[in-house]
Amino acid sequence: MTMRVQIDAGDVGAIQADTLVIPITRRGETPSALPQGLSAIDRRMGGRLADALAAGDFKANVGDRLVIYGPRDGDLVRCVLLGLGEAEKIDDAALRELGGRVGREAARANTGRVALVVPPGPGLAPERAAARLADGILLGAYDFDRYQTAGSKATGKGKGRDARRSASSRLRIAFVRRTKGLARLRSEVRDTLHVTESQIAARDLSNEPPNVIYPETLARACRSMARAVGLRCAVMSDAELRRRKMGAILAVGQGSQHPPRMIVLEHGATAARKKKGTLAMIGKGITFDSGGLSLKPAASMPDMKHDMSGAAAVFGAMRAIALLDLPIHVVGVIAAAENMPSGTAYRPSDIIESASGQTIEIVNTDAEGRLVMADALHHAVRTWKPDAMIDVATLTGAAMLAFGPWATAGLGNDDALLAELREAGDRAGETVWPMPLLDVHTKAMKSKVADWKNSGGRDAGVSTAGAFLKGFVGDTPWVHLDIAGSGMTSTQTPLHVGGATGVGVRMLTEWVSARAR
Ligand code: BES
Ligand code: MN
Ligand code: ZN
């Protein structure tokens, strides 16, 4: 379920919802009365909220939840009192998780209209609480169910395409009128949710099946997103890729019915903004990775619709950056191709020439990601000479084995830049953990018959893949993020039901906004 968000300031008393969430902090003692400004809601609830608090059962400790049902003939079905504990102690991650639990339950119960009422202090900073809770509610409620038609037997929850657009899946965030600085609060919540909704857009894109999202349709999705948020978008056709001698991405795509595309998204291309520098973000967009002629085993193939999660992260981050209108020049490059086995597919032992002029011996057609990235990295370096460049890719099974869904592998040629990304990740709730990039790793990627080979074998898979990419970035400060583990998972958390995580969107947006400051 995807929720639409509406922010209301003022008339909390008349708000309509299936589930009305009221966050409550405690300061020392157990709260015994409703926060200010909620008496109209309590009246509609037949006084039950105040009664419940007066009884003292609800301690408002972190995570405490008390569901209170309204009178049968009333117009409010249920209110959820949500404990936030001591207001000064609760951190962003905890707030977001609490929101996630609420969102998940609301989505499961199909109670589409959720309202979050934000009482004014004391002790509770409303903009922080509201933004983080709403962020969590949207992520927790997210489920990729758009292809489940009405009455779908499998889960009984599918609502189909029409219901998806219905007004009933909606989150309203309402501030109590007396809250100070309402206009600022609204805009802070709005900004947070730009990022949340961009992460959800990234999840959607990655979760789409590969018969729907292939290079041309990925480019189309970029174009329409760019138009909606005011980004520049340019798409290179396969003819243009040939003109530009992008032999690596062309080789990967040549076995597919769907030709490859290089997609460029650009934000803030003005002289004033360029003064703050130019940042580049490069995403791996393999819309399906069968392994090519070095075919993957059947069991590892279904997840490979997510092999464009790096592209989705760049897509989402560029969307958020545009909506936040961050004052800096940013380019996003997406290398889109489908890796298929066929009579026209590239072969193990082929020698190809990348856009940089460097030659590559193909030893394994399943090491395709680094090939498309080589052309994209080179293109970005040559075209914009960025001050810093980050690439995001579901590049190696080794990263998944090393970190599972819990961290993103980071390496590069600039320790300070890697530290920036780790800090941005920490602020955003995404963990980046460093991996080595040593000369021995570069050596392992040297071919006897060409400049490079595309696989160094099983040993140190994350680092050898990174060492290969390093060969195409020149002296541009660069960090490579391997999200093979963190980009998709069946591990559930309060903020994620499974499938694409949308990892990277938050971290990249946070990093760019720090650079823009
Ligand atoms: N897309 C895969 C990596 C991957 C594996 C991502 C599992 C997410 C989950 C990548 O293209 C790949 O196949 N890598 C190979 C490289 C090897 C042939 C050098 C790998 O990691 O096995
Ligand atoms: Mn592969
Ligand atoms: Zn791949």
Q: Same domain for 299 and 422?
A: yes
| DSSP assignment of 257-308 | SS--EEEEEEE--SHHHHTT-EEEEEEEEEEEE--TTSPPPGGGSGGGGGTT
pLDDT value of position 162 = 44
- Which residue's structure tokens are 């802070």? 188
* Integer Cα distance of 301 and 491 in angstroms: 18
Q: pLDDT, tens digit, for every residue of 409-442? A: 999 999 999 999 999 999 999 999 999 999 999 9
Q: Whose CA is nearest to atom 7 of ligand 1?
A: 397
Q: Same domain for 479 and 441?
A: yes
pLDDT value of position 170 = 80
Contact 41, 12 (CB under 8 A): yes
pLDDT value of position 118 = 80
Q: Same domain for 153 and 248?
A: no
Is residue 185 a part of any domain in this protein? Answer: no
| DSSP assignment of 96-116 | HHHHHHHHHHHHHTT--EEEE
Q: pLDDT, tens digit, for every residue of 43-89? A: 999 999 999 999 998 999 999 999 999 999 888 888 999 998 888 88
Ligand 3 center to residue 367 CA distance, Å? 7
Q: Same domain for 171 and 201?
A: no
296 in active site: yes
Sign of CA dihedral 388, 392, 397, 403: positive
Q: Same domain for 367 and 281?
A: yes
Number of the ligand 1 atom closest to the C-alpha atom of 286: 1
Q: Whose CA is nearest to atom 3 of ligand 1?
A: 396
Domain that holds residue 44: 3-177
Is residue 131 a part of any domain in this protein? Answer: yes
Q: Same domain for 286 and 149?
A: no
Q: pLDDT, tens digit, for every residue of 277-326? A: 999 999 999 999 999 999 999 999 999 999 999 999 999 999 999 999 99
In this structure, what CATH number is given to the domain that contains residue 352?
3.40.630.10
Q: Which of 148, 177, 206 is the last residue of a domain?
A: 177
Nearest to 491 by CA among 407, 425, 405, 429: 405
Q: What is the mean pLDDT of residues 160-175?
A: 60
Q: Same domain for 75 and 214?
A: no
pLDDT value of position 75 = 87
* Integer Cα distance of 390 and 411 in angstroms: 10
Residues measured by CB to lie within 5 Å of ligand 3, the ion: 286, 289, 307, 369
How many helices (DSSP H) and strands (DSSP E) are in the chain? 17, 19
Q: pLDDT, tens digit, for every residue of 116-164? A: 888 665 566 677 788 999 999 999 999 999 999 876 645 445 444 444 4
- Which residue's structure tokens are 């460097």? 358
Sequence letter at residue 293: L
Q: Which of 142, 177, 212 is the last residue of a domain?
A: 177
**What is each CA distance from 127 to 96, 425, 509, in whole angstroms?**
13, 22, 20
Ligand 1 center to residue 396 CA distance, Å? 4
Q: Same domain for 163 and 235?
A: no
pLDDT band at 106 (very low <50, low <70, confident <90, very high): confident
pLDDT value of position 163 = 45
Number of the ligand 1 atom closest to the C-alpha atom of 339: 11
SS3 399: helix
SS3 278: strand
Ligand 3 center to residue 71 CA distance, Å? 55
Q: pLDDT, tens digit, for every residue of 200-251? A: 999 999 999 999 999 999 999 999 999 999 999 999 999 999 999 999 999 9
Number of domains present in the structure of the chain? 2
pLDDT value of position 509 = 98
* Integer Cα distance of 513 and 191 in angstroms: 12
Identify the helix (H) or strand (E) that includes residue 185.
helix 182-207
Q: What is the mean pLDDT of residues 470-492?
A: 97
- Which residue's structure tokens are 């960025």? 386
For residue 462, give both structure tokens. 């994350």
Spell out the residues 6+ positions from residue 203 whose beta carbon is closer than 8 angstroms to its own. 142, 144, 312, 499, 500, 501, 502
Give the chain's largest Cα–Cα span.
81
Is residue 124 a part of any domain in this protein? Answer: yes
In this structure, what CATH number is given to the domain that contains residue 160?
3.40.220.10
Is residue 188 a part of any domain in this protein? Answer: no
Spell out the residues 6+ positions from residue 370 whose beta carbon is closer than 8 angstroms to its own. 393, 395, 454, 465, 468, 469
The pick from 392, 396, 489 for probing ligand 1's pocket by mutation, whose C-beta has the most ligand atoms within 8 angstroms, reads 396
**End-to-end CA separation in angstroms for the chain:** 35
SS3 285: strand
Task: Pick the more confident residue, 167 or 306.
Answer: 306
* Plot region of 310 (φ>0 → left; ψ -120 to 50 → alpha; else → beta): alpha
Is residue 68 a part of any domain in this protein? Answer: yes
Ligand 2 center to residue 293 CA distance, Å? 11
B/e letters for 36-51, b = 16+ CB within 10 Å, e = fewer, are ebbeebbebbbebbbe
pLDDT cut 70: percent of the chain above it: 93
Is residue 186 a part of any domain in this protein? Answer: no
pLDDT band at 10 (very low <50, low <70, confident <90, very high): low
Q: pLDDT, tens digit, for every residue of 374-405? A: 999 999 999 999 999 999 999 999 999 999 99
Is residue 184 a part of any domain in this protein? Answer: no
* Integer Cα distance of 69 and 78 in angstroms: 4
Q: Same domain for 219 and 107?
A: no
DSSP state of 303: G
pLDDT value of position 9 = 67
DSSP state of 63: T
Q: Which of 177, 208, 243 is the last residue of a domain?
A: 177
Angle between helix axes 126-141 and 182-207 (nearest 10 degrees) is 20
186 in active site: no
Is residue 467 a part of any domain in this protein? Answer: yes
pLDDT value of position 365 = 98
pLDDT band at 372 (very low <50, low <70, confident <90, very high): very high
Nearest to 500 by CA among 511, 486, 510: 486
Ligand 1 pocket at CB < 6 A:
289, 303, 307, 364, 366-369, 394-398, 400, 455, 461, 484
Q: Same domain for 453 and 510?
A: yes
The pick from 284, 294, 338, 366 for probing ligand 1's pocket by mutation, whose C-beta has the most ligand atoms within 8 angstroms, reads 366
Q: pLDDT, tens digit, for every residue of 493-506? A: 999 999 999 999 99
Contact 5, 138 (CB under 8 A): yes
Q: Same domain for 97 and 200?
A: no
Q: Same domain for 426 and 289?
A: yes
Spell out the residues 6+ positions from residue 441 whose beta carbon is closer than 8 angstroms to its own. 456, 460, 463, 464, 466, 467
Spell out the residues 6+ positions from residue 325 whose beta carbon is closer than 8 angstroms to its own. none
Q: pLDDT, tens digit, for every residue of 280-291? A: 999 999 999 999
* Integer Cα distance of 513 and 56 in angstroms: 44
* Integer Cα distance of 11 and 206 in angstroms: 38
Pairing of strands 432-434, 408-412: parallel
For residue 73, give both structure tokens. 């003939």
